[in-house]
Amino acid sequence: EARNVQEVFEELFIKYKVDLVLQGHVHAYERHYPTANNSAIMDGVSRDNKTYENPQAPVYVITGTAGGPEGLFVYQDPPSPEWLVLMDNKHFSITRLSVTPTNLTLAKIESATGIIHDEFSIIKSSATQDSTQ
């Protein structure tokens, strides 16, 4: 699903310096590296993949694990593209998003236990911020 949105809107996301693209629909969770032209853009990505400093492309997240009568999405031997960081279709969860002028932190929290299954931050230095945004 993220790939479809990426192909249609990627040029606009990059032009307008979109840092994070949140999607739902699929009852699963996926986090991608900053991605452009079907490639992970690793500039500014920390070794533990939990911090993206001044990313040059959007980070795509599918966060559709809140629950529903259909249950979680079942992947059929999914391909793992180079830009995929994490895929989870085993845990119902909520997503917490914290935003400041220079930092965005997303946490995927398991509904039943409160355990954080994934957390990452996008950090923008003041030198890269566009004063019109």
pLDDT surpassing 60 at residue 133: no
Q: Where are the domains of the chain?
A: 2-127
pLDDT surpassing 60 at residue 127: no
User: Which pLDDT belongs to residue 123?
Assistant: 98
Q: How confident is the prediction for the chain on average, in pLDDT?
A: 85
Q: Which residue has the higher pLDDT, 88 or 49?
A: 49
Beta bridge partners of 61: 22, 31
Q: Return the CATH class of domain 2-127.
A: alpha beta
User: Which pLDDT belongs to residue 44?
Assistant: 94
Whole-number Å distance between alpha carbons of 113 and 15:
40
DSSP letter at 56 equals: S
Write the pLDDT tens digit of every residue in 50-95: 999 999 999 999 888 877 666 666 666 666 778 889 888 888 899 9
Decide if 22 contacts 61 (C-beta within 8 A).
Answer: yes
What is the percentage of the chain residues whose pLDDT exceeds 90?
Answer: 54
